[in-house]
Structure 1
Amino acid sequence: MSRSLCAGLSGLAVFSLAVAPIPPAVAEAPSLRLVTATGNVVAERDPDDSGVALDLGLHLAADERFELRVRRASYDRLPEVHRRVGDRYEKLPDGLVRDFSGLPGFLQVTVKNKRGKTVKRAAQKFCPAGVANRYQRDASPVDTYPQSCPAHPFTLGTVWGIPRGWALPVIPADDKLLDLKPGKYRVEVSVAEKYRRLLGVSGETRTVGLTVRAASNEEHGGGHMRRRLSARDGGALEPGLRPSTVAPVPQGPKPDLRALPAWDIRVSHLNDRGLFVRKRDYLRFSATVWNAGPSRLVVDGFRREKSDVMDAYQYFYDANGVQTGYTKTGTFEWEPKEGHEHWHFRDFAAYRLLSADGGRVVRGRKEAFCLANTDQIDLTVEGANPRPENTDLSSSCGESTSVSLRQALEPGSGDTYEHSLPGQSFDITKIPNGVYRLEVAANPSRRLVETDLTDNVALRRITLGGRPGARTVKVARIGMINGH
């Protein structure tokens, strides 16, 4: 999950959802089709893997704009999918998707050996969001759709799409590997019939030559590090000038910060410095605060001379994105801990471990954050920005030498701090077994100006068990979301 959209799409996010049942078959001519980038591809099989991933250089090309809105009404419901047709949205059949990771069984894949014998068949999931490429000369110069499918367990809504004249790589989204020995193959790929009918995809079968070769261990070292490891990549959002006065908070749209229930909860012996401490038990968890809109949250920091503190100001914007004013809202502080090493805004969120009835604080931890749009939570809310600029540490968290910075959280996006990071734990070594509530609170000191302060707290029921040195935790389900 990345601490993973363009202001020009704001009209999409507030588009009126006039729903009509979709007919059994799409009447118009197909507007989507599979195209091949090359006739032959090479896949390397790592000795430690059970197979190869089939990236065949296929693209889904859109001759007309293709757009799906995917949203669930609550965590008790499966997502519903609506296809945009002209100026309205048509509801696709219930149960088409179970989550937000893509369209299951979108591709039908047949692999044949050099003698023409079928050796593998597979159905592969496809995420209709990614880094698309313009393939028609007269197409729009900008792709306004998200660059990935959301992976957060508490996502409520997203938008998938391909602009007219653009082509999106068709890469399997389910991480399934095909057990193919080194050798040469022919792979036949087509879109499943139900998607051809529902989405308007042409029915051609594309054939690609595939060479599988063994990869040496030397070619596969290292792996990739997850987000929030460094803030030194540049690309920061530009702050304004330090305000000379503090005017009243203007009228108009404001952000709405909401906490999501803690997730990815586990017991560990790793402390905040990443050291293994056998005699200590730590309850580690991930936490997300998101902006339900309709306005973006923008906080600029201005450094006090020869100090590791910046004065923070929240800025406000009208419905057209024009700045209307600002107010002072606390401070940023330099966080030197390994795993952070950047500027944190104080009072953005706080964590507490409460008794079962919520009446007693067992453990408390106040946290500071570097704001970034790491996760898609609901890109269907008013003002949602499907392609924010700051999606990772390189965006706006600053350097030790920074004199100013800007941090922002766009409508529809959430900021997640993962369980492995410093500060994402409670020491439960001496806490008795039993039932507790893990609380995540957004804007705990209410320094930030919001439209609604009643939705800032989320609770997750947990049960601690086991014995010292081998503690356990059971996490309550929330709707269809299992015990993460």
Structure 2
Amino acid sequence: MIHPLSPGRKRWSPVARGVLAAAVLGAPLLAASASTPALGADPTNPTIELNAPSAVTAYTYGGGRIYSDLGFRLDVDGGPLVIWSQRAGDYKSAPTAVAKLPEGDVTLPRQKMIGKLDRFIRIRLVDRNDPDAHPVVKRRSTCIGEMSERARPDADIKNPYPTTCYYNPYSLGGVQGVPDGWAASLFGYDSGFRVKPGDYDLTVSITKGYADALGMAADARSATTHLTVLDEGECRGCRSGDERLRPNRREPNPAKGIDSLAELPPGTPVPDLRALPAFGIQVNRKGTQLQFSANVWNAGNSPMVVDGFRRDGEDIMDAYQYFLDPDGNQVAYQQVGTMEWDPRPTHMHWHFTDFATYELLNADKTRAVRSGKEAFCLANTDAVDLTVDGAEWGAYEDDLGSVCGGYETRSVREVLSAGWGDTYAQFRAGQSFPIKNLPDGTYYVRVLANPKDVLIESDTANNESLRKIHIWTDKSGKRRVTVPQVGVVNEADGIYYRR
């Protein structure tokens, strides 16, 4: 899937707008935290630590440029990290940046603009195959929180701070923030590197002025990874054993999770998964595969939220479903299986393994063939019904900072908002049935949501859709398919293959 976080698709959430207004007007900034100190306790500043995976593979595009965040994360624990940037309205002085810490405001190094923190990190790149080569050393500005993810499952479910650093030369104030229990990417989606293919030792450090001001421990200011750079034409997704991540994260105790709908607090909104009829059905040119598109959507009054937390040294994440009250606060969770890394060229992201299944049924509704696709990345691609209770009208712009995650990701949140569905188009790996050895006849394409009944939802009786088709062979021996129309729907009108 092409990463959906692209220029022009960023917005202020209502909370973020409130935070910025507080910054500009000088009002106190309040940030809820999963570990807010008890009433009367002395405030303590958060622990801030720079971490990186032991090894990362990145690919060059467009003249040697790398588009990857390289896995470097600024972990914040014990309270939020909030930074205000401001300047005088006469524009005669440089902006100032202040970290709003629990123990008091701390002035950060001098800034050039409202936006990224000027010269926040130091980068050192050493060619492993040419130890005599001069290391590449440079400093880079950073937008804290531009891309962030939960590092602890008990952290706040939403990031209340702006998810990017909007820039205008006449800006007067800006806010950057990382919630307690979250980890912020230092590079964002575009690392800005131009480097030839090879093996490198990449060291990133928080520059001294910032590290001192933020009270970072000496061993928490720097992190190093083994960076392997490949041409875009080389194997994308091929990894050796030493390229596994060493995540630094804590999972919830599965024993403390819920087991059924009845255990949720009364009135808790709940998702409701449903399957649309399969569409875009066609036979491939060789006549060996029946290709199709499918959409599973959420008709409930709550988003379907599934978080994954990576196991040490594995390409597997433990998955948890989270439940939110009407105000969006987390009230419960349950363990719901796993997520796995899918290295296939049309995927290259993390898939939840128990979301849906596809089957081709015989005329008597018995199974003829099962699709090899058994895992999915949850994302809002299509607005299916925005009139349902709790529908999220702006969901196409929600949670794009994490979505399906890259290989370097330590934790990921995948969300299917109320009223929205997730389309997988027929060109995706796994969106087909092998029909070479099937006889001509009537069949049904079955799409089943929540096949193992591991996800808690309000209704499981509406999870299935069946699309009747006819497979036949013409006089020249070519396999074909006829797909009867569903009601008055003309699939040729308004079909957009989103991913």
TM-score tier, shorter chain, comes to 0.3 to 0.5
TM-score normalized by structure 2? 0.46
TM-score normalized by structure 1? 0.47
Question: Per chain length, whose mean CA-contact separation is higher, i.e. which structure has more relative contact order (CA < 8 Å, sep 6+)?
Answer: 1
